[in-house]
Amino acid sequence: MACFLASAFLLVLQTYAAPTELVQAGFGITLDSMDLDPGLPVDVSGDVPSSPPPGTSKRAPHSIIIGVRKGGTRALLEMLDIHPEVAAAATEVHFFDWDENYAKGFEWYRDLMPYSYPNQITVEKTPGYFTSALAPERICAMNSSIKLLLILRDPSERVISDYTQVYFNRLENHKPVQAIENLLVRNGALNIRYKAIQRSLYDVHMRNWLRHFPLEQIHIVDGDALIRDPLPELQKVERFLNLPPRIVSSNFYFNQTKGFYCIRSDGRERCLHESKGRPHPAVNSTVLQQLRTYLQEHNRTFFRLVKRTFDWQ
């Protein structure tokens, strides 16, 4: 598919812009509602080591985890980093969906990547790419044969997780919050302009990517399955990236306290940040059913687009 489409096309596909009063927050306090994405673009060009490891170089990514937000992108990247032939970028750079970053050029983007050896592939992840109107065309312009990783969860659970993250972010910054039901419903109807819902319209965003990349270049990771049992999903990713099988079951152990799998490699054990795996709020059952019903048709359309189904409610 051609990389360069008419700019009008992109405008048509632009994600609906939610007004500032439709923002996320929390378990029932109050709200001023500004929906801020975590992980703003960071210029880390000054953090380059003075003496890189001998035989290494910085290269543009061979693969990008393009999303989805709250789908498990950080877990996927950390788990892939177990593989000796993967060099994982430490920073979300928002290169393709932030104009101020994109204007700095591909060399700036490459310089933000980790040093890697010739036998390694570099992987970058920025969850906002999936819902960006600009990212597909821009990534295609950089490398039309790049392999893309998309990790998705049940879209209704993703909405609640999205809300939960913003809720805690606002609490930590001493900002007012609001019950999730007040954001999901307005005047008795589902508030489909709420950004968290818009991000879960997987079919809308997938169409944009399929205008620039064939489906064969986009591997979809089942985020719900990754939580339950990481190894099978990671083995599929290894095959997609043409990596030799190096990730094994002993690389994971279930942390009873945290309630999810943690990583064991190179004699070390590590878990994701405490911000991961936070408990979700209880959502009014009627409101939750409204959300699921609305998403069902979008889910069916998405299944047709990607030629597979997922066990989503």
At residue 115, φ and ψ (nearest 5 deg) are -65, 140
Does 48 fall in a domain? Answer: no
Does 47 fall in a domain? Answer: no
CA distances from 241 to 144, 146, 168, 216, 313 (A): 15, 10, 35, 12, 30
* Catalytic-labelled residue, pool 70, 125, 147, 175: 70
Does 50 fall in a domain? Answer: no
Does 46 fall in a domain? Answer: no
H helix or E strand, kind and range, residue 255 = strand 252-255
| CATH code of the domain in which 227 resides | 3.40.50.300
Does 235 fall in a domain? Answer: yes
Does 74 fall in a domain? Answer: yes
**What would the mean pLDDT of 207-226 be, rounded to a whole number?**
98
Binding-site residue set: 70-74, 153, 161, 261, 276-280
Whether 70 is catalytic: yes
Domain extent for 18:
7-33+58-306
Does 77 fall in a domain? Answer: yes
Does 97 fall in a domain? Answer: yes
Binding-site residue set for 3'-phosphoadenylyl sulfate: 70-74, 153, 161, 261, 276-280
Dist CA 310 CA 299 (whole Å) = 9
Query: pTM score > 0.75 for this model?
Result: yes
Give the count of beta carbons closer than 10 Å to the beta carbon of residue 205.
26
User: pLDDT for 150-207, tens place per residue?
Assistant: 999 999 999 999 999 999 999 999 999 999 999 999 999 999 999 999 999 999 999 9
CB-CB contact of 202 with 155 (8 Å) = yes
Taking only Cα atoms into account, the Rg of the chain, rounded to an integer number of angstroms, comes to 20
User: pLDDT for 301-312, tens place per residue?
Assistant: 999 999 999 999
Dist CA 49 CA 90 (whole Å) = 14
Q: Which of 63, 69, 80 is nearest to 127 (CA)?
A: 69
Q: In the chain, how many domains are there? A: 1
Give the count of beta carbons closer than 10 Å to the beta carbon of residue 144.
14
Report residue 173 as tokens.
């910054």
Range among 168-172, 252-256, 258-262, 292-296 with highest mean pLDDT value: 292-296
